[in-house]
Structure 1
Amino acid sequence: MPMPVETLHACLAEAFPDAEIVIDDLAGDGDHYRARIVSAAFQGLPRIRQHQLVYAALKGRMGGELHALALETSAPAKGD
């Protein structure tokens, strides 16, 4: 069963309350998304650790309800 974009956004917003989150449904099927997440939680972390935090926020839904998630993660630019 696909994951509604609202559910995906809620999971991410709960884990990263300060984040700017933009989600695109890449195939129109609720199974293939791209998420752009800008959060202070990513400050100073390597990209792999940033993505691990995102996967942890999905609480095991990746690979089940959610088939594919392309991630673009970053910390806010200094001064933002």
Structure 2
Amino acid sequence: MTARVTTKILEQALKERLDAVETIIQDVSVGGCGNAFKCQVVSERFYNMNILARHRLVNTVLKEEINKLHAFSQEDYTPEEWSKLRQNVPSKS
């Protein structure tokens, strides 16, 4: 039987294999069964890479985990892009 993919497993893999400085991972599968994930990944390794190259890199480092999923979506940012994006998000007070 194959081990189930969890948000913790994805987060650990991204931090270890991609030096991700921040990750936001959501289980978006029906009932939270772990078959579909949405990820936001922040890494310095994304500098000088276009969106397609970033996606390919993430897909490569998570190949084993992604093969066990039904759906995987990602948004990849450099630390500067992430900082600018976060500045434009209204605070929830």
Which structure is higher in helix share? 2
Identity of aligned residues (%): 27
Instruction: Report the TM-score when normalising by structure 1.
Output: 0.83
Structure 2: runs of 5 or more not aligned: 84-93
Q: 2:12 aligns with which of 7, 10, 23?
A: 10
Number of residue pairs aligned between Structure 1 and Structure 2: 78
Give me the whole-angstrom Cα distance separating, in 2, the residues matched to 1:19 and 1:66: 24
Q: 2:44 aligns with which of 40, 45, 51?
A: 40
Task: Check the 8 A contact 2:10/2:65 in 1, yes or no.
Answer: no
By relative contact order (CA 8 Å, sep 6+), the higher-ranking structure is 1
Structure 1: runs of 5 or more not aligned: none
Instruction: Report the TM-score when normalising by structure 2.
Output: 0.72
Task: Check the 8 A contact 2:35/2:69 in 1, yes or no.
Answer: yes
Which of the two has higher C-alpha Rg? 2
Paired position in structure 2 for 1:70? 73
Give me the whole-angstrom Cα distance separating, in 2, the residues matched to 1:52 and 1:18: 15
Give me the whole-angstrom Cα distance separating, in 2, the residues matched to 1:32 and 1:6: 14
Deviations 1:20-79 (A, max 9, x none): 1110111211111110001110011010110111011113332x312211101011117x
